[in-house]
Structure 1
Amino acid sequence: MDRILEKGIIETKNPLPKSRDSLTPLVPQMTNNLPNDILETVRRALAEDIGGGDITSALLPTDSVGRATLICREDAVLCGILWFDEVFRQLDDRIKIAWEVADGADIGPNQQVCQIAGPAPAMLTGERAALNFLQTLSGTATLARKYAMEVRGTKTRVLDTRKTIPGLRTAQKYAVRQGGCHNHRLGLHDGVLIKENHILAAGSLSAAVQRAREQNRGIPVEVEVESLAECREALASGADIILLDNFELVEIEEATRINAGRAKLEVSGGVELTALRRLAETGVDYISIGSLTKHVRAVDFSLRFEMQGAL
């Protein structure tokens, strides 16, 4: 329960949310390094923004106290509380935040999302960085929710990709899950995905699969294919997952028939939201969507600030 402290400061606790789903071996668990990732990502954002110091907020008396209310301006899925909180914690841990909703919650126009109170100079210094995280991650979660809703009632899972904003990989993958979709590999270190150039370098598709198995025991091997012939070859090589790249609908249906449940099937390549349901109904296991993280529109938030006196 939040409680009001002296001088209008609000105390709240925001524990790390639990995962919204249980994941298959293809879709790795969110790294246990999330708290450290948040610390470092926020540190870099503040260093980028503040540089040698906030020369505008320095005009305020150092003992001045402020209070602010965060308002959402549109329908969205909230995400980014941990990053928002960390911005203000790093600037001045006397700043207290009371959240009225949690990550993953649906929010609407003119809805009050949280209240902030504490030293005014630090609040104004951190406002933009905190909002940048919240707007971007809420935008990611909101888009993910739209895709997740399209495949409801099917076995298909919508996956993200590595096409993320530089420096925000972990944050955006967290947001994807808050929106109801799922993570593909976090990076090159935790999943094998053999593509055309890997096959050329290895000499053949089967050689690439064999080498991947020898070097990465226990990790599923995924192969990207561009034709039904390559799909058959990937099946013969014993690939665990086959990525059907830019296949037409009729080809996906045929690949599903050929596969007959032997490998997991993933569809990728320019998949539009309007086509998602039909693709899911073919029975594929996964549909990966690069636009979940690379075509993000920031959610509109407003932070209303007022002075409250002095410490």
Structure 2
Amino acid sequence: MTKKFSERIGIVEPVHNIQTEGMSDELRNSLWNFVHSQFHSLRHDHWIRVSKFVAQFFRKVPVDELPFRDYECRKWIKAYFYGLEWYEVYDLIEFLVANNQMIIDYQGRDQERIEKGYNEIFVSELSGYRFVAGVLAPISNPAETGAISDALEASSSKGLSGARSHIHTALTLLGRKPNPEYRNSIKESISAVESVVKQISGSDAQGLAGALAELEKSVPIHGAMKQGFIRLYGYTSDSDGIRHAILEEPNVGFDEAKYMLVSCSAFVNYLIAKSDAAGLLGRALE
């Protein structure tokens, strides 16, 4: 983002902090402006339709108490938007994006372009959140979001619905506001790996090591990489791992959950690519 003149000459100190537990007025205003542009002038009753949908499915309030005129409905939505807590604004944005086509016809607009528009605002206003496959997640690094998006796309295109479901759930749990579920996010991340492994190996008993051994018959895998994957898998699968800590809450937080989501997504991408190239994935899905 290009600095303003006042920032370049040192009169105004530029903002450097990433916003993860709050929302500046500038960010909120920019988001409202995009909401306004998303729905404004699409048809004469656009705000009436938006307000009815929000009232019925998001706010869960009586729709017959809404204002009658279109411009009054816009004011109703705006007043509600500006009265929300920061995390509730993200909830509403996510809801509007997910239901855009149901609220008002796209008129040539597509989901990817709308998410991209919001992401550009998040970047320019230093928000710590990004849209990844329709979910607002606290991940802003392009390489990390790319790994997750690629895993979701690859698992979907190859018929690995179980892996895709686990990754999507892990992403949702990580981005849950205001109380993310890091422990369950980690469980879902590693479950995505397990789902792919089971289809590659064709046997629940073989586990990750067995699947990699099967894969090595057709595709050479570096020994250090293989052991690294097995150790990563063991982190959540051994007797002291996340899933077995029933009586004592494990000491995990955002950093661990994000690391596991990104790493497991990258691992899923790797396994899909290698097994597909070796013809193993096709046999597993038969």
TM over 0.5: no
> Normalized per residue, which structure has more helix?
2
Q: Which has the higher relative contact order, 1 or 2, with Cα contacts under 8 A spaced 6 or more apart?
A: 1
Q: TM-score range by the shorter chain?
A: under 0.3
TM value normalised by structure 1: 0.25
